Amino acid sequence: MASQLSEAAPFSSIRGNLPSPEEYRKRKVALISGITGQDGSYLTEFLLEKGYEVHGIIRRSSSFNTSRLHHLYEDQHERPNKFKLHYGDLGDSTNLVYIIAQVQPTEVYNLGAQSHVKVSFEMAEYTGDVDGLGTLRLLDAIRTCGLEKHVRFYQASTSELYGKVVETPQSETTPFYPRSPYGVAKLYGFWITVNYREAYGMYACNGILFNHESPRRGRTFVTRKISRAAADIHLGKQSCLYLGNLDAKRDWGHARDYVEGMWLMLQQEQPEDFVLATGETHPVREFVEKSFAVLGTTIKWRGSGTNEEGYDEKTGKVLVRVDPRYFRPAEVELLLGNPAKAERLLGWKRKVNFEELVREMVTADLKASKTRVEDQN
């Protein structure tokens, strides 16, 4: 895809003729890996609103993978020089160098990842390659282009780094103890970002983000699986929801709030690492109860372990069952973040609370379920 953006690649060579970092950063050009994901789509909207030219890396796929960007694509005809997608992959260094040289971004957001924790146990090497080494490849592509003093870099780090509970609430000073191949790969991503900051003076930040959700959340993550099933069960399209560990506790916020925090991290005097979280934790079981409650159904529980089930208080019908297939070989039982540093230094604060998040997701899934025709791809 040759770039047609008027402001792309304004400088004549990869390593020559670069203006000072201050001059270079007068343009506002963002490059996002993982732009087709939940966070990528919200971040794109946010940056376009701020007047950025936004470039994204998308993977070639035999099926349609840009549905979360569809509305922005339409908009592209109105703003032709503001939004551009480039084929690429975090496993392909040459391609990353080419994209960076062509786009000459002022900010790079590394959101691309195999982001599913359970899947990472089945695809451990691939997850390590993309989530761990992929971060290195992107950082090195910036250096190869001679832009290490010009580009600001955001790394999508995660509360999965904390893994096994050492202390709560978890903050920037809490020791890491990842519990999955995903967490371990992201540990590499975290430290290589710190290392490039210290070794090459790069403006590089880790956002240690706790779980954040939205109606655009992937359907196999637990919140969206629940909100979607609650809507489908309510409309008689599904009879029962099967889940794994109902006792796991997560600090759930709204993705739209969190992408603003990513941007804020890149607008400071000095690069630092920040936790973004709500400071509240809720069990999966409560997400189930609150989701069904939005639709007027009260869930009661009986049994225990793999025999536990949730039933409709009024009809007695069993609507939720446990399926051990969804258990993980090693689990992260409790996440609860302390966002005090981000609140103090970035002025960041989440806006959407837990109840509002659940309501928004269930309401969106109810609306979508009423008109959904299953995709044939």
Where does this chain bind ligand GDR (CB under 6 A)? 115, 117-118, 158-160, 211, 220-223, 225, 243-245, 248, 250, 284, 326, 328, 331-332
Examine residue 115 and tell whether it contacts ligand NDP (CB under 6 A). Answer: yes
Judged by beta carbon, residue 98 or residue 326, the one nearer ligand GDR is 326
Name the catalytic one among 42, 154, 182, 203: 182
**Nearest approach, Cβ of residue 75 and ligand GDR (Å):** 27
Cα–Cα distance, 365 to 43 (Å, whole number): 22
> Binding marks (x or -) toward ligand NDP, 22..51, rule CB under 6 A?
-----------xx-xxxxx-----------
Q: Is 242 an active-site residue?
A: no
Q: Which residue minimizes CB distance to ligand GDR?
A: 248
Determine whether 182 is an active site residue. yes
Q: Is 70 helix (H, G, I), strand (E, B) or coil?
A: helix
Short-list 128, 318, 125, 349, CA closest to 239: 318
Q: Which does 243 bind (CB under 5 to 8 A by kind): ligand NDP, ligand GDR, none?
A: ligand GDR
343: tokens are: 């609140």
Smallest separation, CB 126 to ligand GDR (Å): 15
Q: Which of 102, 127, 144, 158 binds ligand NDP (CB under 6 A)?
A: 158
- Active-site residue 158, yes or no? yes
Cross-strand partners of 206:
155
Considering the rule CB under 6 A, would residue 223 count as an interface residue with ligand NDP? no
Residue 212 as a binder of ligand NDP (CB under 6 A): the answer is yes
Q: To 10 degrees, the CA torsion angle through 124, 327, 368, 62?
A: 30
Question: Would you count residue 170 as binding ligand NDP (CB under 6 A)?
Answer: no
61 in contact with ligand NDP (CB under 6 A): yes
Phi-psi group of 106: left, alpha or beta (phi > 0 → left; psi -120 to 50 → alpha; rest → beta): alpha
30 binds, among ligand GDR, ligand NDP, none (CB under 5 to 8 A by kind): none
Name which of ligand NDP, ligand GDR, none residue 253 binds, using a CB cut-off of 5 to 8 Å depending on partner kind: none
Q: Which long-range contacts (CB under 8 A, 24 or more apart) does 312-320 make?
A: 318/240, 319/233, 319/239, 319/240, 319/241, 319/292, 320/240, 320/241, 320/242, 320/243, 320/288
Residue 19's alpha-carbon distances to 16, 97, 146, in angstroms, are 9, 19, 11
Q: Which does residue 40 touch among ligand GDR, ligand NDP, none (CB within 5 to 8 A, set by kind)?
A: ligand NDP
Contacts of 177 (CB under 8 A, 6+ apart): 162, 163, 164, 166
- The site that binds ligand NDP (CB under 6 A) totals a number of residues, namely 26
Other beta carbons within 10 Å of 108: 27
Measured at CB, which residue is nearest to ligand NDP? 37
Question: Binding to ligand NDP by residue 156, rule CB under 6 A?
Answer: yes
Token representation of residue 138: 């992107």
How far is Cα 218 from Cα 39, in angstroms, rounded to an integer? 11
DSSP 334: B
Q: Which of 160, 213, 260, 289 is catalytic?
A: 160
Task: Give the whole-angstrom CA distance, residue 280 versus residue 335.
Answer: 9
Q: What angle do CA 31, 35, 36 make, to 5 degrees?
A: 160
CB under 5 to 8 A by kind: which of ligand NDP, ligand GDR, none does 220 bind? ligand GDR
Binding partner of 92, given ligand GDR, ligand NDP, none, CB within 5-8 angstroms per partner class: none
Which residues contact ligand NDP (rule: CB under 6 A)?
33-34, 36-40, 57, 59, 61, 65, 89-91, 111-115, 130, 156, 158, 209, 211-212, 218
Residues forming the active site? 158, 160, 182
